[in-house]
Amino acid sequence: MKVVYKAIWDLPVEELFASGHRACAGCGPAIAMRWITKTAGPNTIVVNATGCMEVTTTQYPETAWMVPYIHVAFENSAAAAAGIDSAIRTMTKKGLWKSGKTNVIVIAGDGGTYDIGLQSLSGMLERGHHVLYILYDNEAYMNTGIQRSGGTPRFAWTTTTPVGKAIRGKIQAKKDIMGIVMAHRVPYAATASISNIIDMANKIKTALEYTEEGPTFLHILAPCPPGWRFPEERTVEAARLAVETGYFPLYEYDHGKVRLNPPTSAIVADPKRRKPLREFLKFQGRFAHLTDAEIEELEKEVVANLNYLAKLASL
């Protein structure tokens, strides 16, 4: 990771994501949007998939976006971005693009990435477009009212995986989207959390720089108060606990090399520094039903994942 920002003071002052949008109070994705646009700067085109970030920010005739923005549909943001990239490249050659170097950034939710948009994401990555794809992960289809997605964790309550007598929340584990992206051998992919702003901003900068070579990817954890069922003032805390409990490790994939970032690297080096998973789970309504045995099961998965990542990082 290229360290451009050392402290919050180093970040640009200019806001490119306007306040007054219609996202819920305490919306994790909205926090992400603010830092993404700020870091990327005005020479950026945003391609947004359908989802909370689109419907809450573009209610005609108003918009929260101070950079050029397009929403096409739910499953095709990567394909639309590929078209924009292709247009900029050819038009530059023909002297028809006069804006100079322009970032093309996709912003899509977990549903639009893990599920319905996976095909177009894969195609875009395979073809090597100069696009930064940012997944903001709130771990469910929130815009349609909290349904499970491929990014929803095991045992989580959603409206389509209700907690009943026979089945207790989502049955399957969360899909390893980073693994899928890394398998495309892109120049750069990284995880980030809205609780670790400086780390996230530096990763955005790094990813944008690497898009000269090819597609880059960021997986940002962005908690959703109504979807996860916690009070809206605890969003950043939820994201921080996700990182500190090892539930959402911070790491990068840089030209084939996996590197763990703080605080995940510290947790892996000294497992005693990892907070118990219960701290992350228990204040969220979506996990309120979990038994100790189930928490233990999830904790085992967290540890196994950290071990797996530590191995990858040692390669």
Ligand X SMILES: Cc1ncc(C[n+]2csc(CCOP(=O)(O)OP(=O)(O)O)c2C)c(N)n1
Provide the binding-site residues for ligand SF4, judged by CB under 6 A.
23-24, 27, 29-30, 52, 56, 138, 142, 224-227
Nearer to ligand SF4, 27 or 189 (CB): 27
Q: How many CA atoms lie within 13 A of 116 on its CB side?
A: 17
Which residues does 247 contact at the CB level (< 8 Å), separation at least 6? 241, 277, 280, 302
Nearer to ligand X, 134 or 260 (CB): 134
Binding part of the chain for ligand X, among 7-15, 45-53, 253-261, 288-296 by CB under 6 A, reads: 45-53
CA distance linking residue 250 with residue 253, whole number of Å:
11
CA 69, distance to chain mean position in Å, is 19
Q: Which does 225 bind (CB under 5 to 8 A by kind): other proteins, ligand X, ligand SF4, none?
A: ligand SF4
Is residue 227 within 8 Å of 289, Cβ to Cβ?
no
What are 122's two structure tokens?
Answer: 């894969």
Q: Which does 149 bind (CB under 5 to 8 A by kind): ligand X, ligand SF4, other proteins, none?
A: ligand X
Rule CB under 8 A: is residue 90 a binding residue for other proteins? yes
Rule CB under 8 A: is residue 94 a binding residue for other proteins? yes
Which residues does 104 contact at the CB level (< 8 Å), separation at least 6? 44, 45, 47, 81, 84, 85, 88, 129, 130, 131, 132, 211
Q: Which does 44 bind (CB under 5 to 8 A by kind): ligand SF4, ligand X, other proteins, none?
A: other proteins
Q: How many CB atoms lie within 10 A of CB 229?
A: 15
Rule CB under 6 A: is residue 110 a binding residue for ligand X? yes
For residue 303, which of 263, 266, 276 has the smallest C-alpha distance? 276
Give contact residues for ligand X (rule: CB under 6 A).
29, 50-53, 74-75, 109-112, 138, 141-144, 149
Which residues contact other proteins by CB under 8 A?
Answer: 42-45, 47, 54-55, 58-61, 63, 65-73, 75-76, 78-84, 86-91, 93-94, 96-97, 99, 102, 119-120, 122-123, 126-127
